[in-house]
Amino acid sequence: MLSEEVRSRLAALADPERAPDMQAYMKSAMPYLGVSAVPLRQACKELFAPLRYDSGGQWQADVLSLWRGARFREERYAAIELTGLTAARAFQRIDALPMYEELIVTGAWWDYVDAIAGQRFWAILGNEREAMKAAMLRWATDDNMWKRRSAILCQLRAKAETDLDFLAACIAPSIGSSEFFLRKAIGWALRQYAWTDPEAVIRYVEGHPQLSGLSKREALKNVGGARRSA
């Protein structure tokens, strides 16, 4: 069974001396094995390379089995690695959103959320743009902060394909929020787009005085460099 193979491989890589510091850094209730990112990704790459899926349902079942059965945080990181499997690229569609919603809501921390929203959601937007846009606009007003953050970050990889009106619409419900993770996400999303169109980001910031100081600083952090490289 895949989940058992993953747990066995990660357990073999565990470094118990590192685990407490990793847990403390991430402020995680779930313990760590002490496996750093590079060996974890390499192990996942080797384990997942032979996988082939006939349906999105099979792929989702493996992801959720890993996620739900996790006893250590690295096992959940492995589940997120599995969501990015090349063999599952065709399954990055709107019907995968309930799976991602479970990971985001039950994970409820930035390391999980950002990997999903910043990478996987862009793939879904590429496959089913209008349906995913509608879903993200609903998430942007959700009571769950992590779903709101996900909506704001869903175009992080878009570059010149960024839909600025869509980004603004995802930001708008949280623009006055006092939540650090929302204010940071707003700034991050704008900062990423500033590499493509710094003037547009400057206009947005100047036109929205209700942005927090944190969001403004983050949004404008790369503007000078982006102008020089343009």
pLDDT of res. 222: 83
Residue 227 has pLDDT above 60, yes or no: no
What domains does the chain contain, in order, with CATH numbers? 1-88 (1.25.10.90)
Q: For residue 167, give both structure tokens.
A: 């980004």
Q: What is the DSSP string of 65-113?
A: HHHHT-SSHHHHHHHHHHHT-GGGGGG-SGGGHHHHHHHHHHH-SHHHH
For 191, residues 6+ apart whose C-beta sits below 8 A from its C-beta are: 201, 218, 219, 220, 221, 222
Q: How far, CA to CA in Å, does 28 sit from each of 1, 25, 83, 129? A: 27, 8, 22, 34
d(Cα 70, Cα 105) in Å, to the nearest integer?
A: 15
- The C-alpha atoms of residue 70 and residue 107 are separated, in whole angstroms, by 11
Both structure tokens of 143: 């009571």
- Under a CB-based contact definition with an 8 Å cutoff, are residues 44 and 78 in contact? yes
pLDDT digits (tens, 9 = 90+) for 160-188: 999 999 999 999 999 999 999 999 999 99
Instruction: Indicate the pTM of the whole model.
Output: 0.94
pLDDT tens column, 43-75: 999 999 999 999 999 999 999 999 999 999 999
pLDDT in tens, 122-136: 999 999 999 999 999
> Phi, psi (5° rounding) for residue 107?
-75, -45
Is there a contact between 186 and 154 (Cβ–Cβ < 8 Å)?
no
Alpha-carbon distance 39 to 131, whole Å? 36
Estimate to the nearest angstrom the gap between the alpha carbon of 146 and the chain centroid.
10
**What pLDDT shows up at residue 1?**
86
Q: Supply the mean pLDDT for the chain.
A: 96
Q: From CA 124, how far away is CA 39, in angstroms rounded?
A: 28
Q: Whats the size of the chain, residue-wise?
A: 230
Tens of pLDDT, residue by residue over 90-127, are 999 999 999 999 999 999 999 999 999 999 999 999 99
Are 107 and 149 within 8 A, CB to CB?
Answer: no
